[in-house]
Amino acid sequence: MSTGACPIDHGAAAAGGCPVSPRASAFDPFGAEYQADPPAAVRWSRDEEPVFYSPSLGYWVVTRYDDVKAVFRDNITFSPSIALEKITPVSAEATATLERYGYAMNRTLVNEDEPEHMPRRRLLMDPFTPQRLVHHEPMVRRLAREYVDRFVDAGKADLVDEMLWEVPLTVALHFLGVPEEDMATLRKYSIAHTVNTWGRPSPEEQVTVAENVGKFWQYAGTVLDKLRKDPSGHGWIPYSIRAQREHPEVITDSYLHSIMMAGIVAAHETTANAAANAIKLLLENREVWEEICADPGLIPHAVEECLRHSGSVAAWRRLVTRDTTVGGVPVPRGAKLLIVNSSANRDERHFDNADEVDIRRDNATDHLTFGYGSHQCMGKNLARMELQVFLEELTRRLPHLELVPDQEFTYVPNTSFRGPEHLWVQWDPAANPERADPTIREAQRPVRIGEPSKKGISRTVTVVSVDRAADDVVEVTLAAANGKPLPRWTPGAHVDLELGDVSRQYSLCGDPSTPDTYRIAVLRDPDSRGGSRYVHENLRPGTTLPLRGPRNHFRLDPTARHYVFVAGGIGITPIIAMADDVRASGGSYELHYCGRDTSAMALLDRCRRDHGERLHVHSSAAGTRLDVTALLANPAEGTQIYACGPERLLDALAGASAHWPEDALHVEHFTTTRQVLDPAVEHAFDVDLTDSGLTVRVAADQTVLAALRAAGIDVPSDCEEGLCGTCEAAVADGEVDHRDVVLTRSERAANTKMMTCCSRACGDRISLRL
């Protein structure tokens, strides 16, 4: 089937032949390969031809992360108007059938252009904000629990048929505010709708499908009429009917009818499919399943990684409205794009080891399963909530669940929505934990609404050894409790250790090229409130404890011509790793190590052994204190100073380097002086979001990050006190009041980025590229 002529002028291109490559011309999104695993089926494209024309589909196909995101970002050049267009032309008979039912599916939030779209989106989005969604959690949990009750003692179930289809459907109906009746019929209608829009039904099937779609349309209309009579209830549709009364010119009757039907599909099928994909993926990766059974705090991260790896929306479509380029490839006005977001989510250029399931992946939330920008899925946080609850209920009540072996997974053939039609699982009911402890059925954890916090990502480590490193200093070696290699790290990185009731940060001081272990050195602080005392008194070989990170807020600039390293006391830990790194790469450096007495200076033997004459030891007891003024008397172009130690030393270095080039001095910060926001001192301001088309008000006592999250905008965060740089956003306009310790002076002056967890607007308005 060809739905579009090859756009290439063959006459002009005759010398080189048709430039559509053999693989591009063989591409078939309805073929077995794409249907089984879309990102794997277009791996060749990501690697060799990331934007190509598919003659059989009549679409340009876009497969790399940056290109897909760029298309999502620009909804003017890349119109969403064809997002719901039937990918296969409808037969005359099917069209007649749809007409018979008065089917008049119109534009909805998914496929409308500006300037209509954003005013509607703004009017209709309040029920999707986290503060509203939280009220739905008890309903989601109750439903999930009741459905698990039905099969928990059976020992075998098809999770799709027995839970994952109906619960999201019921949640969708509750959320929309429509009755629960006619569920079985609705299920049939929903499947029909998917095939109608994204599938390739045969001419005979088209008529059956059209019958069901027509009935679905009529059903939506009947419910809408019912709700119109009394729109005072909860739910998105009653809310929208009320909004229509105030803004009839923005929200029309036909619009309401269309979003009613589209809303059911959008809220239901995508979540049902995503849940089935996630459980299948986790059970196929048994170790990961067992990890989240053991530590349910990892579930929000597992949800995000499953959405990235095997999301339920494989691809979207866009119409090109002007001659342009995508990924450097010229694409003409009028071209249709198939943007394969599932492929973008497996792009190695953006996600390391993209085919692996890594629930501690740093950037999993960058996935494009929900789209991006002004058309991003409004229901994303409802979906996240449902997935968390499902995983929590199943891992707690049926941790011994496993896939029925050798089952064949089938998918409804279509380009965009994706999930197995059946998911058979089995377990031994006699081993159900709630048989021994009935309270397990009721246990629950608070659900996280929105994207997961990086703070929650931890792994269990075992203490390998604890060795004396100097007076009151021990060196601790740690390994992953599961025996696997620990994540890679770079000089300057630190980890967070959970030590009893407190969490403390320690720089890594071992060898980054030995991934099996981490080493830290800990000084016993006489005023310790638990951290260093706990390490000295409780850590023994074999002790296990949670570790988060590593993270690096103190990175080496690899371009420096010479490095001056200055360590004070236990501040040697990040500095020695940096000095080792520069030595190994043959760079030029000097290492100044200051301490009270050599007996109290940890790792001194190692410094002497490895850094020889580059090392300068400054001991107060020996009268060889460091003269920082003399050390930094002569600024040197290309020299970078890296320092870690007591504040007194860092202040002295800052003073002594004031005449050096900007940004020459780098110091390690573990804490900021950031205070609680005082509304008497702070002012409120607006943040315009250029990619999302929204304006968010930031209250005087609120951070930009909190305001963005309340508006449903995902921004990753970690420290949330201006230390790590995770929450960075690009600034399009407006002056920033920088309050972080991440950006250098020149970066602040450039005013092109800000840390949203702490920095604010100087004036009444700021504009961010989000």
- By beta-carbon proximity to ligand FES, the closer residue of 264 and 719 is 719
**393 in contact with ligand FES (CB under 6 A):** no
- By beta-carbon proximity to ligand FES, the closer residue of 220 and 724 is 724
Q: What are phi and psi of 54, to 5 degrees?
A: -105, 105
The pair of structure tokens assigned to 338 is 């198939």
Task: Supply the DSSP symbol for 163.
Answer: I
Q: Which three-class secondary structure state does DSSP give residue 567?
A: strand
Window 734 to 753, contacts with ligand FES (CB under 6 A): 740, 742
> Torsion-angle region of residue 226: left (phi > 0), alpha (psi -120 to 50) or beta?
alpha
The whole-angstrom separation of Cα 395 and Cα 392 is 5
DSSP of 613-624: GGEEEEETTTT-
**698 in contact with ligand FES (CB under 6 A):** no
Stretch that binds ligand FES, among 57-65, 181-189, 722-730, 761-769 (CB under 6 A): 722-730
Q: CB–CB of 221/178 below 8 Å? A: no
- By beta-carbon proximity to ligand FES, the closer residue of 237 and 757 is 757
- State the minimum distance, in angstroms, from the CB of residue 756 to ligand FES: 7
**723 in contact with ligand FES (CB under 6 A):** yes
Kindly report the number of other CB atoms within 10 A of residue 555's CB atom: 14
Please write down the long-range contacts of 648-657, taking CB distance under 8 Å and 24 or more positions apart. Answer: 649/566, 649/568, 649/571, 649/594, 650/568, 652/628, 653/566, 653/628, 655/628, 656/628, 656/629, 656/631, 656/632, 657/632
**727 in contact with ligand FES (CB under 6 A):** yes
- Given candidates 725, 734, 739, 768, which one binds ligand FES under the rule CB under 6 A? 725
- By beta-carbon proximity to ligand FES, the closer residue of 419 and 549 is 549
- By beta-carbon proximity to ligand FES, the closer residue of 317 and 666 is 666
- By beta-carbon proximity to ligand FES, the closer residue of 432 and 717 is 717
- By beta-carbon proximity to ligand FES, the closer residue of 228 and 674 is 674
Distance of CA 618 to the CA centre of its chain: 46
- By beta-carbon proximity to ligand FES, the closer residue of 193 and 709 is 709
**67 in contact with ligand FES (CB under 6 A):** no
Stretch that binds ligand FES, among 359-367, 397-405, 516-524, 717-725 (CB under 6 A): 717-725
- State the minimum distance, in angstroms, from the CB of residue 740 to ligand FES: 5
Q: Which three-class secondary structure state does DSSP give residue 417?
A: strand
- State the minimum distance, in angstroms, from the CB of residue 174 to ligand FES: 34
DSSP of 29-63: TTSHHHHH-HHHHTHHHHHH-SEEEETTTTEEEE-
DSSP of 483-521: SPPPPP--TT-EEEEEETTEEEEEE--S-TT-TTEEEEE
Q: CB–CB of 148/397 below 8 Å? A: yes
Sign of CA dihedral 573, 576, 582, 584: negative
- By beta-carbon proximity to ligand FES, the closer residue of 707 and 742 is 742
Give 414's contacts (C-beta < 8 A, 6+ positions apart).
87, 194, 195, 197, 198, 199, 200
Q: How many residues bind ligand FES (CB under 6 A)?
A: 14
Is cis: bond before 203, omega within 30 of 0? no
- State the minimum distance, in angstroms, from the CB of residue 157 to ligand FES: 41
- State the minimum distance, in angstroms, from the CB of residue 689 to ligand FES: 18
Task: Supply the DSSP symbol for 752.
Answer: S
- State the minimum distance, in angstroms, from the CB of residue 202 to ligand FES: 53
- State the minimum distance, in angstroms, from the CB of residue 181 to ligand FES: 47
- Given candidates 354, 704, 719, 766, which one binds ligand FES under the rule CB under 6 A? 719
**720 in contact with ligand FES (CB under 6 A):** yes
The whole-angstrom separation of Cα 518 and Cα 466 is 12
- State the minimum distance, in angstroms, from the CB of residue 83 to ligand FES: 34
- By beta-carbon proximity to ligand FES, the closer residue of 357 and 742 is 742
**493 in contact with ligand FES (CB under 6 A):** no
Q: Are strands 59-62 and 336-339 parallel, antiparallel or unpaired?
A: parallel
- State the minimum distance, in angstroms, from the CB of residue 670 to ligand FES: 12
Stretch that binds ligand FES, among 266-274, 352-360, 654-662, 714-722 (CB under 6 A): 714-722
Stretch that binds ligand FES, among 161-169, 458-466, 502-510, 715-723 (CB under 6 A): 715-723
**714 in contact with ligand FES (CB under 6 A):** no
Total length of the chain: 770
- By beta-carbon proximity to ligand FES, the closer residue of 280 and 739 is 739
- By beta-carbon proximity to ligand FES, the closer residue of 291 and 740 is 740
Tell me the C-alpha to C-alpha distance, in Å, between residue 24 and each of 18, 50, 55, 443, 502: 11, 10, 8, 52, 56
- State the minimum distance, in angstroms, from the CB of residue 715 to ligand FES: 9
The whole-angstrom separation of Cα 762 and Cα 515 is 44
Q: What are phi and psi of 117, to 5 degrees?
A: -65, -55
> Torsion-angle region of residue 323: left (phi > 0), alpha (psi -120 to 50) or beta?
beta
**668 in contact with ligand FES (CB under 6 A):** no
**755 in contact with ligand FES (CB under 6 A):** yes
**718 in contact with ligand FES (CB under 6 A):** yes
The whole-angstrom separation of Cα 168 and Cα 263 is 12
Q: CB–CB of 643/492 below 8 Å? A: no
Stretch that binds ligand FES, among 132-140, 393-401, 712-720, 762-770 (CB under 6 A): 712-720
- By beta-carbon proximity to ligand FES, the closer residue of 505 and 717 is 717
- By beta-carbon proximity to ligand FES, the closer residue of 641 and 708 is 708
- State the minimum distance, in angstroms, from the CB of residue 719 to ligand FES: 4
Sign of CA dihedral 737, 741, 743, 749: positive
**722 in contact with ligand FES (CB under 6 A):** yes
Site string for ligand FES, 439-478 (x = CB under 6 A): ----------------------------------------
The widest CA-to-CA distance across the chain, in whole angstroms, is 97
**595 in contact with ligand FES (CB under 6 A):** no
**664 in contact with ligand FES (CB under 6 A):** no
Stretch that binds ligand FES, among 429-437, 462-470, 687-695, 720-728 (CB under 6 A): 720-728
**717 in contact with ligand FES (CB under 6 A):** yes
Tell me the C-alpha to C-alpha distance, in Å, between residue 495 and each of 89, 304, 521, 599, 647: 56, 23, 12, 26, 21
Question: 268-282 burial by CB neighbour count: b if 16+ within 10 A, else e?
Answer: bbbbbbbbbbbbbbb
**757 in contact with ligand FES (CB under 6 A):** yes
- Residues forming contacts to ligand FES in the complex (CB under 6 A) are 717-720, 722-727, 740, 742, 755, 757
